[in-house]
Amino acid sequence: MSLAAWDVEASKRGIGNGVDMGNREILIIFIVLVLAAVFLFVWMRRDRGKEPEDRLPEALSEPLDGRSGPASPPIAATPVDVIATTVEVPPAPTILPAPEGPPDDLTRMKGVGPKLVALLHELGVTHFSQIAAWTDEDIAAIDQRLGTFKGRIQRDRWVEQARHLAEDDASGFEAKFGKLG
């Protein structure tokens, strides 16, 4: 059956519901849409792989204030006097040597998780008694070495927590800091 005969037969049966669009027209529309999508995709990716300075060389030569004409000549590099600055480095913390025996479970302190325990172990801190003995200077020096955990020593009151845990004072700890995990 030819396409024209099918159209006649379909119109006799009421197929198509009044739409005069045949298969050829639908196919043509579909092909045009696919070609437009491919063109758009290629056009949007045309600058990929180029270095940024290759993309806009003409924009760099125009003045930024909107004036027309050539841009002012680049500023020549001139020697600059270097000013010596000193950076205050906190003194190394005086961490007491670790007592004999296995390390304490530092995660029992509120606000101390496995990552902080690993960091404290790198610094040589493995027992509650070491933390309980920290001075304000030690806290400042250790706090500088805690990276993203900076400030947690004072905020979570580690020294106070460690004193209770070093003395096995579970009831005193729980009265101030909540139930031990």
Reported pTM: 0.49
Helices of type H across 123-177: 128-132, 136-144, 152-155, 158-166, 170-177
Domain extents in the chain: 1-72, 106-177
Contact yes or no for 13/7 (Cβ under 8 A): no
pLDDT by 10s per residue, the chain, length 181: 666 665 666 666 655 555 556 888 999 999 999 999 999 888 888 766 655 555 555 555 555 555 555 555 666 666 666 676 776 665 666 677 777 889 999 999 999 999 999 999 998 999 999 999 999 999 999 999 988 999 999 999 999 999 999 999 999 999 999 888 6
Distance, in Å, from the CA atom of 111 to the CA atom of 161, rounded to the nearest integer, reads 10
Residue 120 near residue 93 (C-beta atoms within 8 A): no
